[in-house]
Structure formats: structure tokens, C-alpha cells
Amino acid sequence: MALSKSGSRVALVTGGIGGIGTEICLQLAQVGRTVIAVDLATRSDRIEAFRERTAACNGAIRFEPCDVGDFKACGDLITHVERNIGQVDILVNAAGITRDTSLRKMDPQQWHELIRVNLDGVFNTCRHVVDGMVTRQFGRIVNLSSVNGQTGQFGQTNYSAAKAGVHGFSMALARETARKGVTVNTVSPGYCDTPMVAAVPQEIREQIISDIPVGRLGTPGDIARAVVFLTADEADYITGANLPVNGGYFMSF
């Protein structure tokens, strides 16, 4: 079994200092993982807040800067982690951005910036961890998709395309690794209480909340619980699946 120097499985979480990512890091640490939170080095205010929130974890969570849109930087990061901390057994791709605007107004930059982080980022990290996972015959990959990848959302042709793409990617990779002890799944959050959703104009946000059967926004903790479940050693028969966590906002079979 590939373990960190402290004897626990290493989990790498992209977007690790973000609204949902921070909670994923905390919950993974609570179940004994050694957690590497990956995010942009430029977000110094968020890094500080993250350090304060995770201080009680006694070093089980550490921050590593990396731009997930940069293929080489992802490779360098994973080499560094595997040399100094331990083999990456769990990968959670939670890095994501929005560039909301209707297609009629969307410029190529808003398209490419979003695809670079939300979709290329998933390729860049998975590509660098998958060989090691297959060789060791163990891996858990969870990629965050979105309810808006399932339904489409006004003003989100870029985001909806990327998030639908994330699930397609995950199903394909799940097939490639199914006999090698590596599972690949998506979690599709609905609208959660995060800075990303807070940026949606208030009127639209209130309309969305009134359409959620459970009657509230999701919490980052709601999403993190699904990630912990799918990354358990015992979750070895769940692969290529999508786990929606949306308060009933979109129900499907």
C-alpha cells in the first residue's frame, strides 16, 4: 500500500482553498488522509484564511501553489509531492471558475480561460497521477462536475460545456482503469453557499433557491461528504458514476 511518510493515504485537492475545496480538505483530514491543497499562489487573502481554518489539523493539511491549467506545473507539483510527502492515492479536482455571460456576448477569452481551468485542469492532474495509481493498483479520483453541466444554465455555455465534459472524461477514464483498482467518479454540486454562487445577481439567486426542493443552498460540507464517501478504500465498486448533491434541484434516473 502506498502511504505518506506519516502512514496515511495522500489526497491532493485542487481548488483546495476555495469555498468547497477547503471543506473537502478538512473532511478528508478528519478521516485520516494527508491532504495537499492545491491552488493559485496569488490568492494571498484566501491562503491566510485557509491556514487559519486548517491550523487545528496538526499538519495533516498543507498548501502547495500550482496553476492547474499549466500541464508542466502539474507534473512538477506531483513529482514534488510524491518525492517529499508520499504517492498520490486520492485526487479530487475541485478547481473551477465562472465567466458567466450569454453566448451572444461571450468573447473567446471568456471561453478559453474557463475551459483551461475547469476542463484542461482535470486532464493535467489526472494525466500525471494515473500511471502511479495503475502501477500501485489503487486510486480514487473524484472530479467535481455541476448540476449546470447536466441541465445547462443561461449564461453558462462555457461552464456547462466544461462540466458536462468533466463527466464524459471521468466515464472514459473509469473504463481505462476499472481493472486496475482505480475508480473515477464525478460529484455534481447544485447551488451552494460559496463565493461563486454569492456572485450570481441577487434576484436570480433568490429565484434559484425558491426552485430547490430542500429549500436552501447546499453547504460545502454537503459536497465534501460525498467526496469522502467516494474516496473510501471500500468504495471500490463505484466507478464511472455521477453523484448529484443538489437538494433535489435536478432529479434524474
In the complex, the residues that contact ligand CAA under the rule CB under 6 A are 98, 100-102, 105, 146-148, 153-156, 159, 189, 191, 196-197, 200-201, 204
Q: Are strands 10-14 and 34-39 parallel, antiparallel or unpaired?
A: parallel
Nearer to ligand CAA, 139 or 155 (CB): 155
Q: How far apart are CA 204 and CA 187, in angstroms?
A: 24
Question: In terms of C-beta distances under 8 Å and separation of at least 24 residues, what long-range contacts does 160-167 make, across chains too?
Answer: 161/115, 162/114, 162/115, 162/118, 162/119, 163/118, 163/188, 165/119, 166/93, 166/118, 166/119, 166/122, 167/143, 167/242
Work out how close the CB of 98 gets to ligand CAA at its nearest, in angstroms, rounded to a whole number: 5
Work out how close the CB of 205 gets to ligand CAA at its nearest, in angstroms, rounded to a whole number: 8
Side chain identity at residue 148, one-letter code: N
Q: How many CB atoms lie within 10 A of CB 195?
A: 9
Nearer to ligand CAA, 108 or 201 (CB): 201
- Among the listed residues 205, 109, 207, 111, the one whose alpha carbon sits nearest the alpha carbon of residue 156: 111
Contact by Cβ (8 Å): 238, 208 = no
Nearer to ligand CAA, 54 or 146 (CB): 146
Work out how close the CB of 76 gets to ligand CAA at its nearest, in angstroms, rounded to a whole number: 29
Nearer to ligand CAA, 58 or 109 (CB): 109
Contact by Cβ (8 Å): 80, 62 = no
Q: How far apart are CA 193 and CA 30, in angstroms?
A: 22
- The verdict on whether 249 is a catalytic residue reads no
Which of the following is catalytic: 159, 191, 237, 249? 159
Work out how close the CB of 96 gets to ligand CAA at its nearest, in angstroms, rounded to a whole number: 7
Work out how close the CB of 46 gets to ligand CAA at its nearest, in angstroms, rounded to a whole number: 17
Nearer to ligand CAA, 196 or 243 (CB): 196
Q: What are the catalytic residues?
A: 159
